[in-house]
Structure 1
Amino acid sequence: MTRPRKDVKFQHRSGSTARARRPSTSISEFSENGSEPGSPTTKNGSIAPPAPVPAQNEYQKKKANFITRTIWSMVMLLGFFWVLGAGHIYIIIIVTAVQVISFKEVIAIANVPSKARSLRFTKSLNWYFLGTAMYFLYGESVIYYFKHILLVDRILLPLATHHRFISFMMYIIGFVFFVYSLQKGHYKFQFTQFAWTHMALFLIVGQAHFVINNIFEGFIWFILPVSMVITNDIWAYLCGITFGRTPLIQISPKKTWEGFLGAWFFTIIWGIGLTHFLAQYKYFICPVNDLGANIWSGLECKPNPVFVARDYTIPFLPAGLPFPRTFNIMPVQFHIFILATFASLVAPFGGFFASGLKRTFKIKDFGDSIPGHGGMTDRMDCQFIMGSISFFYYSSFIAIYHTSVGGVIEAAVTGLTPEEQMEVVKILAKNLVNQDIISPKILEYLSAQLHRR
Structure 2
Amino acid sequence: MPAKQQTTAANGSSSSKSPIKTAKKQRVDAPVELVTDVQSEREKKIQNLIVRTTWSVVMIVGFFVLLAAGHFWMITLVLGLQLLAYKEVIALAHEPSRKRTLPYSKTLNWYFLASTVYYLYGDTVLYYFEEVLLVDRVLFPFAIHHRFISYMLYIIGFMIFVSTLEKGHYQYQFMQFAFTHVALFLIVVQAHFIVKNIMSGMFWFFLPASLVIINDIFAYLCGITFGKTPLIKISPKKTVEGFVGAWVMTVIIGIILGYFLIQWPYMICPPSDFSLSAFSEYTCVPNPVFIKQTFLVPQFLQPLLRQSTFFIEPIHFHVINMATFASLSAPFGGFFASGIKRTFGIKDFGDTIPGHGGITDRMDCQFLMGFFSYMYYTSFIATHKQGMDVVLATAMTSLTPVEQMQLVQALQKYLHNQGHIGKEILQCMN
Q: TM-score range by the shorter chain?
A: 0.7 to 0.9
Could you tell me whether the CA contact under 8 Å between 1:350 and 1:381 is conserved in 2? Answer: yes
Question: Is 1:256 the equivalent of 2:239?
Answer: yes
Q: Give 1:213's aligned residue.
A: 196
The two structures have a TM-score, normalised by structure 2, of: 0.87
- What is the RMSD of the two structures over their aligned residues, measured on CA atoms? 2.2
Percent of aligned pairs with the same residue? 57
Equivalent in the alignment of 2:360:
377
Match of 2:395 in 1: 412
More divergent stretch after superposition (320-329 vs 335-344): 320-329
Match of 1:275 among 246, 254, 258: 258
Moved over 6 A (4+): none
Corresponding residue of 2:22: none
On the 8 A contact 2:103/2:164 being kept in 1, the answer is no
CA pair 318-243 structure 1, distance change in 2 beyond 3 A: closer
Does 1:285 find its partner at 2:268? yes
The reply to whether residue 340 of structure 1 matches residue 311 of structure 2 is no
Partner of 1:367: 350
Q: 1:307 Cα shift?
A: 0.6
Q: How does 1:285-304 map to 2 (within 5 A)?
A: 285-304=268-287
Q: 1:54-65 counterparts in 2 under 5 A?
A: 57-65=40-48
| Contact kept? 2:94, 2:106, Cα under 8 Å | no
- CA 1:190 to 1:273, structure 2 compared with 1: closer, same or farther past 3 Å? same
Greater relative contact order (Cα 8 A, min sep 6): structure 1 or 2? 2
Alignment correspondent of 1:198:
181
Q: Which residue of 1 aligns with 2:21?
A: none
The aligned counterpart of 1:239 is: 222
User: Residue 163 in 1 paired to residue 146 in 2?
Assistant: yes
Give distance in 2, aligned partners of 1:111 and 1:120.
12
Q: Which amino acid aligns with 1:357?
A: I
Deviates more, 1:334-343 or 1:138-147: 138-147
Aligned residue type for 2:88: E
Give CA deviations for 1:366-424 in whole Å, capped at 9, x if unaligned: 00010110000000000000111111111111111112112211221111112221222
Measured at CA, do residues 265 and 442 of structure 1 come closer, stay the same or move farther in structure 2, by a change above 3 Å?
A: same
Unmatched tracts of structure 1, length 5 or more: 1-51, 448-453
Count of residue correspondences: 397
Query: Do the aligned residues in 2 keep the contact of 1:236 with 1:263 (CA within 8 Å)?
Result: yes
Bigger share in helix = 2
In the other structure, the counterpart of 2:18 is none
SS state of the match for residue 299, structure 2? coil
Q: Alignment partner of 2:218: what SS?
A: helix
- Helix, strand or coil for the counterpart of 1:61? helix
Using structure 1 for the length normalisation, give the TM-score: 0.83
Other-structure match for 2:3: none
1:134 CA displacement: 0.7
1:357 aligns with 2:340: yes
Q: Which amino acid aligns with 2:271?
A: V
Secondary structure in 2 matching 1:153: coil
Deviations 1:285-315 (A, max 9, x none): 1223322322233443211111111122312
The amino acid across from 1:208 in the alignment is A
Amino acid at match of 1:136: Y
Structure 2: runs of 5 or more not aligned: 1-32
CA contact (8 A) 2:82 2:188 kept: yes
- Cα distance, 1:311–1:115 mapped onto 2, change above 3 Å: closer
**Structure 1, 215-224 or 182-191: larger mean CA deviation:** 182-191
2:411 is paired with a residue of what secondary structure? helix
Shift of 1:439: 4.8
- Letter of the 2:362 partner, please give it: R
Is the 2:117–2:188 contact (alpha carbons within 8 Å) kept by the matching residues of 1? yes
Q: Helix, strand or coil: the match of 2:93?
A: coil
> 1:124 — aligned with what?
107
Q: State how far apart, in whole Å, the 2-side matches of 1:236 and 1:428 are.
A: 59
CA distance in 2, matches of 1:357, 1:402: 42
In structure 2, the CA distance between the partners of 1:360 and 1:118, relative to structure 1 (3 Å rule), is same
